[in-house]
């Protein structure tokens, strides 16, 4: 039993992989900036068409007591925490955010599974924090 637990822990530990913020920036520009704005401040050209205005994504950490809200961001992007402001569950571009599953280390210290494109996008957003 201990060997099985160790094996699972080893797999999870090894699954936490580096993210590519540059690839995340490209994804953001192609799929998110229309609503969230090129500067990620919520002022994209389509923002006025949304039921809820997009938030300033550069202040996620500041609005969360100085801790980047990894779990909330991942779940919003990958659709586990849908938003009605988009007219449908997020992501609007769901198929573009599919891919190899990876584990990210959440603010709780626990791993959270998501796709490689979402991991890259989260890395980009984490780098934008003021």
Instruction: Check: CB of residue 57 under 8 Å from CB of residue 130.
Output: no
Mean pLDDT of the residues in the chain: 83
Considering the domain 17-127 in this protein, what is its CATH number? 1.10.760
Instruction: Check: CB of residue 76 under 8 Å from CB of residue 83.
Output: yes
What are the pLDDT digits (tens) for 73-124?
Answer: 999 888 888 766 555 555 566 777 888 899 999 999 999 999 999 999 999 9
What are the pLDDT digits (tens) for 62-73?
Answer: 999 999 999 999
Nearest to 41 by CA among 56, 26, 20, 59: 56
Domain extent listing, the chain: 17-127
**Cis check: omega of the bond before 92, within 30 degrees of 0:** no
**pTM higher than 0.85 for the full model?**
no
Position 3 confidence tier, pLDDT thresholds 50, 70, 90: very low
The whole-angstrom separation of Cα 9 and Cα 13 is 6
């Amino acid at each position: 039993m201990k060997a099985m637990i160790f094996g699972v822990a080893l797999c999870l530990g090894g699954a936490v992989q580096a993210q590519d913020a540059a690839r995340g920036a490209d994804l953001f520009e192609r799929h998110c900036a229309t609503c969230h704005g090129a500067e990620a401040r919520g002022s994209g050209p389509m923002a006025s068409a949304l039921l809820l205005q997009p938030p300033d994504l550069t202040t996620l950490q500041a609005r969360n007591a100085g801790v980047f809200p990894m779990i909330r961001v991942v779940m919003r992007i990958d659709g586990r925490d849908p938003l009605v402001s988009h007219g449908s569950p997020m992501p609007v571009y769901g198929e573009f955010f599919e891919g190899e599953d990876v584990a990210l280390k959440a603010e709780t210290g626990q791993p959270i599974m998501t796709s490689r494109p979402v991991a890259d996008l989260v890395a980009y957003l984490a780098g934008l924090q003021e």
